A and B are shown apart, each in its own frame.
Chain A
């Protein structure tokens, strides 16, 4: 079972946290900090698995993570999950985000938290994997945003293209997560 899915940036700012077991809000924040502390001190090119922090259950749980450009994607899982399988799942998740946001970057996650949650909900439910087929997930996500569009358009009476990607404040596009998968650490203030 997946106990928690956490996304935070290189500074430890949480960008998404989803817990599939109940913790108090305080503990959740502590878990995020602890996990960031554990994961961020690791070099690049070491293995992607480590034992979970104490708060989330210690060595019975594993943290499986990938580092994409400015973001860490961390899945905390128990021993019933395949480590490599979860790595694939993270990749599917990021590729899906990339397709939905057209070259996804950290800003997209900040401004569209609800959409990220929705996409995740198409993949993982109650800590178990619901769907791994990327095109199926994207179809669902697009159907939802279409529905949203129609409702919003009715409300604001204006229509824009389907994509919900965000340009940078400078007007230029920021390089996406996948483009920078193995890029060196780069500070980004948020």
Chain B
């Protein structure tokens, strides 16, 4: 594993991003201007020179801004570590580019889980249905927003 550079005295111009998934490294030491991550506290924008942070992610849209182009992914959950030397590590369990998501299936899934929640009896079933609703409504707003 390559050692990370130490914290520079002035803010570097670009943010270096590592975006990893269990089955692939989506982005590896890519230099970008900004990323917006869906943290549990809301959408968090990360710029070079951001204070060191550890944040847990909730289902939502991750967008990577490089120059004038933006790549958007839907992320299921994970963690983001922002280091003082303007390195950002995003570890997600699942991520898909937004254009690969089928809107009809999202609607269907949302309806399914809402129905499951109303018919759920045990705490476990309720929790599972609630998670399904959260993910699908996040998917929905990702596609429309």
Chains A and B come from one and the same complex: no
B-contacting residues of A (Cβ < 8 Å)? none
A-contacting residues of B (Cβ < 8 Å)? none
